[in-house]
Amino acid sequence: MVLIPDSCCGAAEKRMHDGDHDMTIAFVGNPSVGKSAFFSRVTGVGVMVSNYPGTTVEMTRGTVKVGQKKIDIVDLPGIYSLGTSTEDERVSKEYLLREYPDVIVNVVDATRLERNLYLTLQILELGVPVVIALNQLDAAREMGIDIDAPKLSRLLGVPVVPTVATKGIGLEEVLKEAVDPSLSPAGRIRVHYDNHITNAINDLGVDFPDTASVIRLRALENDSDFVRMCCRPHEADLLLSKASEMASEIEDAHNMAISDTMARDLYGEAGQITDSVQSIVEKDTSLKHRIDDMLTSEYVGVVGLAAALLLTFLLVFRVGGFLEEGIVHLFETYLIAPVEAELAASNPLVRNVIIYSLLGIEAGFAIAIPYIGIFYIILSIFEDSGYLTRAAFLLDNLTHRMGLHGRAVIPLVLGLGCNVPAIMATRALNTLRERRIASVLISLIPCSARTVIILGLVGTFVGYWAAVSIYVLEIFIIFITGWILGRGLPGERTGFIMEMGPLRHPDVVSTLKKTWLRIREFVYIAFPLLIVGSAFLGGLDSLGILDIFENAVSPISVGILGLPAFAATALVFGILRKEMALEVLAVLAGTANFATVLTPLQMYVFAVITTIYIPCVATIAILKHELGTRDTVMISTFTILLAFTVGAVVYQIGMLL
């Protein structure tokens, strides 16, 4: 089984099995087609989530046995095409060309057949054995759509298996077809491209007889990534140069970009196939359809979205806060306090490292279980029900002003509960540029821990409206920061294209499995860094370095910001957990009645700085995992400078008033 002839495929040699698996199957499909539900049902919970090398794009792997064969299954990110407009598309294409799976299972949404067949036709051109999983047939029937699966199979020249992934229908049949030894790329459909393109492909075949037609086609489209993955460097350069000359002639003849011509031909082929196999038996006038119309309407939809976001925030904040309080109480009462008493006479360095490590573990459990768990259950319900795409559609115009798209709304709202899962949720964004902007904005959003400081300090001792004004200030800063980054940050800008599938009933099993996978990743990745960071702070404290730091920054903390000297140490502890800044401030002040030791202006400035400056250790750990060290340092530095600048301005204005 060879995708491309050996003479022009030095970079695409067939992947050798590692001995642990008999074959590899890649799941490929559009976003929101039920691919993740399919994968979860097939593999269970014994899966591994990892990033593709050199990227932040997530891929999930699992293992399943079909008969006597042990199958390695890879769930690639949802994509609309094998282009390069998003990092997800680049990674999926690179995986298919470099890793070369034995079989591709293309999960297709039966309710949006024509749109999905665009990707299907591109996949069929690769020459890899393919099985089509025609998914969500139950939703299609509810919409009055009937699809002739056997006829679709004959037209495409590949097996087509009707499935309902959320109910486990048809999944075994798909795997049986995938492991069938007789499955091959022969006899499949060939797209009828424009005559100019077809002639150019044939002409290139004269000069480059050892290249597959799909490589020549991609060369005409100037898909240099595809060509260079498949051909040796010198041959790739020659092919791209020759194809560029031909493409210019075709573009002049059609008065349009050759990529647009190819897209037109692909959609035309997809449309003809859909018309041949699909029939509408009745118009959808169901209650679900009417609800869908309301959810996407200009007025009712926005009100409904505001209610959904408010409910999400209330559940995450209230329930999460309740659980966090209980977890912290258990740790403090039954672990940290006894250990502190036991280590009272031990070496200060050892004592601090141990105690601070335990505080880090406490912070991890208090974040992962209450906030991440609850939010990801809600997020999975939003995803599986199809509501997430509707929320993105409604708020696209607003987020566009900050260089983002509607799908960024959910991570930004999540930041009000906890910044950690919010930054993890930015993976849903298309490009690294968008993830960077969203991550910066999320780092500025006042999470529940910062809310403790705003309400516990300013709200209690200064006044309710003073606390509200901090939120107003934060919203202004976030919007201005997003506006500046959206216009000044380099990187690829993508259009907002998101298929809105039908509303569905979420599957409880899939929701819980998806939630566990996301929580597990936080525990495995952020937890160790959180504990190490906590131990590091404990060591600095025992060695007196924090005192040195306090004296060193006093010209800024006292002279410019107007805070008492001990407030700088409290801000350092806030890096571990934001609410710890307030707790340490009370310890250093010798009282929890802050009105006796701080002026209203000092409390207000302290709260403003705490809500803006460097995120907590857990957030820093996730930033490093998602964006890398360089971006993490830049975001942290930016927030520190911004916090001190805003704090100084607020102090000066307060002094004038």
Helix spans in 543-599 (H): 545-554, 566-573, 578-589
How far, in Å, CA of 326 to CA of 610, rounded?
Answer: 24
Which pair of structure tokens corresponds to residue 138? Answer: 């139950």
**347 known ligand binder:** no
- Whether 502 has a binding-site annotation, put simply, is no
**Buried-exposed string 262-285: b where 16+ CB fall within 10 A, e elsewhere:** beebbeebbeebbeebbeeeeeee
CA distance 417 to 451: 9
Alpha carbons 430 and 434: distance in angstroms, whole number: 7
Query: What angle is formed at CA 580 by the lines to CA 578 and CA 584, rounded to 5 degrees?
Result: 140
Whole-Å CA distances, 141 to 85, 281, 284, 502: 33, 9, 9, 11
Distances from the Cα of 482 to the Cαs of 399, 410, 414, 476, in angstroms?
9, 16, 17, 10
31 is in an annotated binding site: yes
Report whether 69 belongs to an annotated binding site.
no
- Going by C-alpha positions, the residue among 94, 100, 95, 84 that lies closest to residue 17 is 100
Separation CA 457–CA 400 (nearest Å): 35
Residue 44 is labelled as binding a ligand: yes
By the 8 A CB rule, do 606 and 563 touch?
yes
Is residue 652 marked as binding?
no
55 annotated ligand-binding residue: yes
168 is in an annotated binding site: no
Is 76 part of any known ligand binding site?
Answer: yes
Q: Please indicate if the annotation marks 33 as binding a ligand.
A: yes
Cα separation, 628 vs 233, in Å, equals 30
CA 82 to chain centre: 19
Among 171, 175, 218, 174, which residue's Cα sits nearest to residue 193?
A: 218
131 annotated as a binding-site residue: no
CB atoms within 10 A of CB 345: 7
User: Dihedral sign, CA of 397, 398, 402, 405?
Assistant: negative
Instruction: In whole angstroms, give the CA distance from residue 157 to residue 265.
Output: 19
151 CB-contact burial (10 Å; exposed 0-12 / middle 13-18 / buried 19+): middle
In DSSP terms, 58 is beta-bridged to 51
Alpha carbon distance 335, 237 (integer Å):
65
Residue 427 burial by CB count (10 A; 0-12/13-18/19+): exposed, middle or buried? middle
75 annotated to bind ligand:
yes
C-alpha 64/C-alpha 61 separation (Å) is 10
SS3 24: strand
130 is in an annotated binding site: no
SS (H, E, C) 422-442: HHHHHHHCCCHHHHHHHHHHH
- Check whether 137 is labelled as a binding-site residue: yes
Q: Give, in order, the Cα–Cα distances in Å from 629 to each of 75, 159, 200.
A: 27, 46, 46
CA distances from 150 to 216, 473, 639 (A): 32, 61, 58
Which H or E run contains 160? strand 160-162
136 marked as part of a ligand binding site: yes
Helix or strand run (H / E) with residue 60: strand 58-66
- Are 594 and 602 contacting, i.e. CB atoms less than 8 angstroms apart? no
Edge-first strand order for the sheet with 69-75 is 47-51, 58-66, 69-75, 23-29, 103-109, 130-135, 160-162
550 Ramachandran zone, left/alpha/beta (phi>0; psi -120 to 50): alpha
- 164 appears as a binding residue in the annotation: yes
Binding-site residue ranges for GTP: 29-36, 54-58, 75-78, 135-138, 164-166
Binding-site residue ranges for Mg(2+): 43-44
Binding-site residue ranges: 29-36, 43-44, 54-58, 75-78, 135-138, 164-166
